[in-house]
Amino acid sequence: MGLGGSSGRDAAGTRPARRLLPEGRTAVMGIVNVTPDSFADGGRWATAPEAMAHARQLLAEGADVLDVGGESTRPGAQPVAAAEERARVLPVITALRAATDVPISIDTSKAEVAADALAVGADMVNDVSAGRFDAGMLPLVAERGAAIVLMHMQGTPATMQEAPHYGDVVGEVCAFLAERAEAARAAGIAADRIWLDPGIGFGKRPAHNLALLAGLEPLVALGYPIVIGASRKGFLGGLAGEPPDPVEARLPASLAAAVLAAAGGARVVRVHDVAATRRALAVADATRRAARTSD
């Protein structure tokens, strides 16, 4: 399924191919929130210069991918106009592309924002709606030869935590992601440009999140790289007895989730704390390699 596929070239054929995933270890996607209302960093990097400084720090810590977003998807978040979202993210992506060859992801569910982000140097789209909110998203990604992360979510960010319910959360999320991957392929997106994310914390109660972390095997069996984004989320702090504020206090629990995700077969973890996560995953990945060698 091409887990280490390159990102291809843009519509003009001028962007050099970039490998999206490192070989032999779990990739770390560093989060760059260019928003005033993110749950995890409270708008700390809401301006382009602040976001660039933060992105450079994540690169120095070893981020394999940078995920740039201009619209919060925290529970209860309200939509942001496309013009505002573009104004937040495009200067950051443009500057990052000039500064690094590390793959860049645009975190958006709007095709018009994604189009402009890809034009200035993004390699992939991280869409929390899995291409459902904007009918133009999947055709756009296919046309540009870009990659896409398809995520599961019940409802919308504004409503997703009101009353999430499942009969079999792992089975239902797996079926949803399989269907969205097929929709992406039908739209013309190459199989090796598709990543899947079960959407930890997106329309899920703590028990649902735990079931997904414990039950990644059927998702991995779909044959696409699995992305897990549990970093700093409230259910982790609750489980670990950590204080709700500051959210940085959730780091130990976030590291545990990243290690469990890697052990379960996830290829990518989306995190706020890149350096600490890289160190924890070095042990997890080495242990997995040793287990395979001893078989």
Q: Is residue 21 part of a domain?
A: no
3-state secondary structure of 152: coil
Q: What is the pTM of this model?
A: 0.90
Which stretches of 68-161 are DSSP H helices? 82-99, 111-119, 137-144
Q: Do the Cβ atoms of 32 and 92 come closer than 8 Å?
A: yes
**pLDDT of 92:** 95
The C-alpha atoms of residue 121 and residue 63 are separated, in whole angstroms, by 17
Examine the pLDDT at 139 and tell me if it is beyond 50: yes
- Per-residue b/e over 148-168, b at no fewer than 16 CB within 10 Å? bbbbbbbebbeebbeebebee
Comparing 39-53, 66-80, 165-179, 278-292, the range with the smallest average pLDDT is: 39-53
Examine the pLDDT at 133 and tell me if it is beyond 80: yes
For 228-275, the pLDDT digits (tens) are 999 999 899 889 887 777 888 899 999 999 999 999 999 999 999 999
Q: Do the Cβ atoms of 171 and 208 come closer than 8 Å?
A: no
Domain that residue 119 falls in? 27-294
Residues 6+ apart with CB under 8 A from 155: 162, 164, 203
The C-alpha atoms of residue 271 and residue 100 are separated, in whole angstroms, by 19
Structure tokens at 188: 């013309």
Read out DSSP for 248-274?
A: GGGHHHHHHHHHHHHHTT-SEEEES-H
CA angle 22, 223, 126 (to 5 degrees): 60
Examine the pLDDT at 11 and tell me if it is beyond 50: no
Q: How many domains does the chain have?
A: 1
For 189-227, the pLDDT digits (tens) are 999 999 999 999 999 999 999 999 999 999 999 999 999
**pLDDT of 96:** 96
Comparing 24-33, 70-79, 117-126, 243-252, the range with the smallest average pLDDT is: 70-79
Catalytic residue positions? Answer: 233, 270
The C-alpha atoms of residue 64 and residue 6 are separated, in whole angstroms, by 13
Q: Is residue 106 part of a domain?
A: yes
Q: Is residue 3 part of a domain?
A: no
Q: What is the CATH number of the domain that holds 236?
A: 3.20.20.20
Q: Is residue 272 part of a domain?
A: yes
Q: Is residue 215 part of a domain?
A: yes
